[in-house]
A and B are shown apart, each in its own frame.
Chain A
Amino acid sequence: MNKGGPGGGGPTAAAAASVAQKQKTLLQKVEGDIANIVDNFSYIVNVARVNDPPVRNSQEAFMMETRAARMVQAADSLLKLVSDLKQTAIFSGFASLNDHVEQRRIAFNQLAEKTDHTLSMIGEKAAASLKELESNYSSSAQKTIQEIQP
């Protein structure tokens, strides 16, 4: 599983070592949390037996609450770990980011060329319309003036 560190096996040995260390730490943390959850849950399940002295029962009730809280804590820390990993993957995945940026750049350049082309077409059409209008105007003005003059 790629943890998305600085390039995963970077150019220097130190970077690779730190990545490996980080990966190990994360794995340990994950395992610790999961073991925590499993232990606490199994305790809670085991304590289901009803004992005769009521004192033991209240003690067990308190322990259950404590262990439930611990389970939730462990789950929370797991979730945090997951979101940390997500963040790292999103914001440090330079290869994919670079690819994406390159794609966008090409797309935008194409869009810019297309826009330039459209603009020049508009310009040509405007010039053609202008010519047409001018010739229409000339012919109409001539007729008007010729009617006025005998």
Chain B
Amino acid sequence: MDEGMELQLSLDKLPIKRLDSIEENGIERFPPDVDYDEKRTSLIRRIDFAWAIEKDEEKKKQKKSSKEPATPWQWQGMVENLQLAHQELSVIIDLINTVEANDAVTVASMTKPKSLPNEALSDLAVCAATKLQCYRKVGKYFKQSAKAFEQQVAREARFYGALIRLQQNWKVKRQRQTSIVPGNEGFTFDLFDNSYDQGAIIRSSLMSTVRVNHDAAGMLAINVSPELCHSLQFGFVGAQPDDMQKKSNENKSHLPDEDSSDETGIESSRDEECVKKTHSLLRDVHKAIFNEQVFDLLNREAFSASTGFTLTGIRENYLQLSLGQGTSVYLSLASSGQDHPTVEGELTNNADNAVSPLESSDILMHDAQQNTLKKKGQNSNSTCYEIYIQQIYHEHIFGRGSEKPISSGNRLSGAQANDGSSLLGHFSMSLSHRIFSSKILAELENVVFKVPYLQLISNPTWYSRGSSWTLFMEVPPSILRGCQIKASENATKRQFWTKVVVIDDCINVKAEGSPNVSGLFKGKSVDTHSINQYDCNLADLPVIILQQVASQIINWLYHEALMVGIKANRDFLCLSFELEQGETLALVANVDPEDNDGCISWSLVMEDSFAEVQKLHTNNTDDASEYRKFLGPLSLDLLYATLIDLISFVSGGGGCQ
């Protein structure tokens, strides 16, 4: 109650009967009993509503009096209505309390007063507004859910689209797990090939199953640790490390740059990139598994004594093998960016000590160049050998194209004693052959450099354990070519060849040998000359080649002499003519591979029967003696001219000079 209100008290009379009056004869008169209903009514009437009514009237008066202020507060009416409502409510609450307290008055019935139309309409409006609000909320909820579903569908579409594209090239497996983390449907890529050795599954199982995850954007992603991706490295111990760095840099995979620009425009290209990136990652893992298999097999075979390699060093993912002759190689599985340092103290490959015939100007510079060339050659060769190992392993396991593999199943065990059928054995033989053939090539080049009329032609064999070269000499045309007999025209040889074939470490020299006289008239070059064929070793090769060439020259000169009609005798390296007094005039070849002026030098030797006896008693090796004239290395034209001179001398009478 307001403080300003006055407190009024009303006192009830005690509900006892009071004497109303007494008559003279003593009869008491009491007031009549009040009826229950009347009592109730009177009690109700006692509730005084006057104050409320008065207040209303006062307020109305105040309102009328206070209409002068120009701008009433906009909520004033609402405040007054609320206050009135408040008062009415407090009246009602008082009534209810009174009814509660007095059992004399109870509520008979409650009826809502008939609401006024505006009240009914406002009620309806409120309900409608509430309902509308509700619908709006539901609508918002639906929109949100729809958007979320759309995003989820789009994300799934991208994910499955990428997965389908990857499934075109890779094996996808699905595991139906009961407790699947939302977002991980249990897809994996299985990268292991069943063609591999079954025993090697253990090593590669870590990498061979790649789980498919979702990245932050819901797109397909795989987690592959780059350290697991090994690459096979082969090299010569002691080789320069520069090229190793280049090789390891090539193996690093380049991730695409993150593009933070507007997503909607380039989403499809990002998906494309993502698929490509995943594809290349899977390919890296696949290659790493393959490299591991190769290394595994070579590891197992390295312990066998029959491969040709000797195991000299072993570490995790690293094998060092010695081939003999001071050559050491290593095989390692390196992660991208990691190189294995080689073991110190091993000899480098001394394959080529000879001077390279490329330039003859400055020997020192030329040695340095040659060393770097040799090292570079080795390094580029080491890449070749890497590829070669991988190729032969691949053929071994998978076969070539549609052919069956060379061996199948679980076949590579120590029981294979045959060098040729084990991978490492074959590889060691190829490697040693290559080293050996490079030595041979150096020798041949040396010889060809020194002898100007010899040419070297390489004959590629496309076989890893075989090489072949042809040394080729072209002789000047004969003077008498125009007068030759038809039948022997084809027999006039202008070219002589010597073929050097190397299989593994066996050198085979094949050359045209002494001419077959009867074949001269047959017209076929095969029948004209016999073919010499013999084996030799590396140290003797230059001498043998030179001897062969010299004998071919002698043969040619002999043939030319015969063409002219002069009788000559031919020995291995000597062409002799008989003079009248029993003397012989001989043209003798002398071969010396160490001679820098030309390895084949010529001498004229005059011999008679007396001189031969003298030679037996004395060791007269003086080149300036009357019986021997040293001519030195001669070109073929000069030789031919010399022959013509000799022939004319011989045919001119053979007199003294």
A binds B: yes
A90 to B635, CA, bound (A): 80
Cβ of B156 and Cβ of A83 under 8 Å apart? yes
A141 to B456, CA, bound (A): 12
A72 to B145, CA, bound (A): 7
Residues of B within 8 A of A123 (CB): 460, 462
Residues of B within 8 A of A60 (CB): 131, 134
Known: A54-B127, A83-B156, A146-B635. A104 touches B456 (CB 8 A): no
Cβ of A87 and Cβ of B174 under 8 Å apart? yes
Which of A52, A54, A113, A131 lies in contact with B401, CB distance below 8 A? Answer: A113
Q: Which of A75, A130, A149 has the most chain B CB atoms inside 10 A of its CB?
A: A149
Please provide the chain A residues from 94 to 140 with a CB less than 8 Å away from any CB of chain B in the complex.
97, 100, 104, 109, 112-113, 116, 123, 126-127, 130-131, 134-135, 138
Cβ of B169 and Cβ of A65 under 8 Å apart? no
Residues of A within 8 A of B174 (CB): 87, 91
Q: Mark B139-166, 1 if CB is under 8 A from A, else 0.
A: 0011001000100110010001001100
A86 to B159, CA, bound (A): 12
Cβ of B131 and Cβ of A57 under 8 Å apart? yes
Residue of B nearest to A65 (CB): B138
Which of A57, A65, A104, A135 lies in contact with B168, CB distance below 8 A? Answer: A104
A21 to B138, CA, bound (A): 37
- Answer whether residue B627 sits at the interface, using C-beta atoms and an 8 A cutoff: no
Residue of A nearest to B169 (CB): A104
A87 to B138, CA, bound (A): 33
Cβ of A68 and Cβ of B142 under 8 Å apart? yes
Cβ of B131 and Cβ of A50 under 8 Å apart? yes
Which of B123, B160, B401 lies in contact with A90, CB distance below 8 A? Answer: B160
- Answer whether residue A26 sits at the interface, using C-beta atoms and an 8 A cutoff: no
Residue of A nearest to B138 (CB): A68
Residues of A within 8 A of B456 (CB): 134, 138
- How many residues of B sit at the interface, in one of the four size bands? 35 or more
Residues of A within 8 A of B452 (CB): 141-142, 145-146
- Answer whether residue B453 sits at the interface, using C-beta atoms and an 8 A cutoff: yes
Cβ of B455 and Cβ of A135 under 8 Å apart? yes
Residue of A nearest to B453 (CB): A142
Q: Mark B552-567, 1 if CB is under 8 A from A, else 0.
A: 0000000000000000
Residue of A nearest to B139 (CB): A68
- Which DSSP category, helix, strand, loop or mixed, fits chain A's interface? helix
Which of B123, B131, B160, B168 lies in contact with A52, CB distance below 8 A? Answer: B123
- Answer whether residue B347 sits at the interface, using C-beta atoms and an 8 A cutoff: no
- Answer whether residue B457 sits at the interface, using C-beta atoms and an 8 A cutoff: yes
- Answer whether residue A2 sits at the interface, using C-beta atoms and an 8 A cutoff: no
Cβ of A86 and Cβ of B149 under 8 Å apart? no
Please provide the chain B residues from 425 to 479 with a CB less than 8 Å away from any CB of chain A in the complex.
448-449, 452-453, 455-458, 460, 462
Cβ of B635 and Cβ of A134 under 8 Å apart? no
Residues of B within 8 A of A72 (CB): 141-142, 145
A65 to B169, CA, bound (A): 48
- Answer whether residue B185 sits at the interface, using C-beta atoms and an 8 A cutoff: yes
Q: Mark A71-99, 1 if CB is under 8 A from B, else 0.
A: 11001100100010011001100000100
Residue of A nearest to B472 (CB): A138
Cβ of B145 and Cβ of A64 under 8 Å apart? no
Q: How far is the CB of A4 from chain B (nearest CB, A)?
A: 13
Residue of A nearest to B134 (CB): A61
Instruction: Please report the number of residue pairs spanning A and B whose Cβ atoms sit closer than 8 angstroms.
Output: 95
A86 to B153, CA, bound (A): 12
Cβ of A75 and Cβ of B149 under 8 Å apart? yes
- Answer whether residue A12 sits at the interface, using C-beta atoms and an 8 A cutoff: no
- Answer whether residue B406 sits at the interface, using C-beta atoms and an 8 A cutoff: no
Cβ of A51 and Cβ of B185 under 8 Å apart? no
- Answer whether residue B167 sits at the interface, using C-beta atoms and an 8 A cutoff: yes
Known: A90-B164, A91-B172. A112 touches B401 (CB 8 A): yes
A141 to B153, CA, bound (A): 76
Residues of B within 8 A of A76 (CB): 149
Which of B124, B135, B163, B449 lies in contact with A141, CB distance below 8 A? Answer: B449
A44 to B452, CA, bound (A): 106
Residue of A nearest to B130 (CB): A57
Please provide the chain B residues from 238 to 256 with a CB less than 8 Å away from any CB of chain A in the complex.
none
A141 to B149, CA, bound (A): 81
- Answer whether residue B402 sits at the interface, using C-beta atoms and an 8 A cutoff: yes
- Answer whether residue A27 sits at the interface, using C-beta atoms and an 8 A cutoff: no
A23 to B169, CA, bound (A): 30
Cβ of A134 and Cβ of B160 under 8 Å apart? no
Which of A64, A112, A130, A145 lies in contact with B134, CB distance below 8 A? Answer: A64
Residue of B nearest to A126 (CB): B460
- Answer whether residue A35 sits at the interface, using C-beta atoms and an 8 A cutoff: no
Cβ of B145 and Cβ of A75 under 8 Å apart? yes
A123 to B135, CA, bound (A): 79
Q: How far is the CB of A8 from chain B (nearest CB, A)?
A: 18
- Answer whether residue A38 sits at the interface, using C-beta atoms and an 8 A cutoff: no
Known: A86-B160, A104-B169. A127 touches B460 (CB 8 A): yes
Residues of B within 8 A of A17 (CB): none
Residue of A nearest to B597 (CB): A149
A126 to B123, CA, bound (A): 99
Residues of A within 8 A of B457 (CB): 131, 134-135
Residues of A within 8 A of B448 (CB): 138
Residues of A within 8 A of B172 (CB): 91
Cβ of A100 and Cβ of B168 under 8 Å apart? yes
Given contacts A68-B142, A138-B448, 20 further A-B contacts (CB under 8 A): A48-B135, A50-B124, A52-B123, A52-B124, A64-B135, A68-B138, A69-B141, A72-B142, A72-B145, A79-B149, A79-B153, A90-B160, A91-B172, A104-B168, A104-B169, A109-B401, A138-B455, A141-B357, A146-B452, A146-B635
A residues contacting B by CB (< 8 A) are 44, 48, 50-52, 54, 57-58, 60-61, 64-65, 68-69, 71-72, 75-76, 79, 83, 86-87, 90-91, 97, 100, 104, 109, 112-113, 116, 123, 126-127, 130-131, 134-135, 138, 141-142, 145-146, 149
Give 26 A-B contacts (CB < 8 Å), ordered by A residue.
A50-B124, A50-B127, A51-B127, A52-B127, A54-B126, A54-B130, A57-B131, A60-B134, A61-B131, A64-B134, A64-B135, A65-B134, A68-B138, A68-B141, A71-B142, A72-B141, A79-B153, A83-B156, A86-B156, A90-B163, A90-B167, A91-B172, A130-B458, A134-B455, A138-B456, A149-B635
B residues contacting A by CB (< 8 A) are 123-124, 126-128, 130-131, 134-135, 137-138, 141-142, 145, 149, 152-153, 156, 160, 163-164, 167-169, 172, 174, 185, 357, 401-402, 448-449, 452-453, 455-458, 460, 462, 635
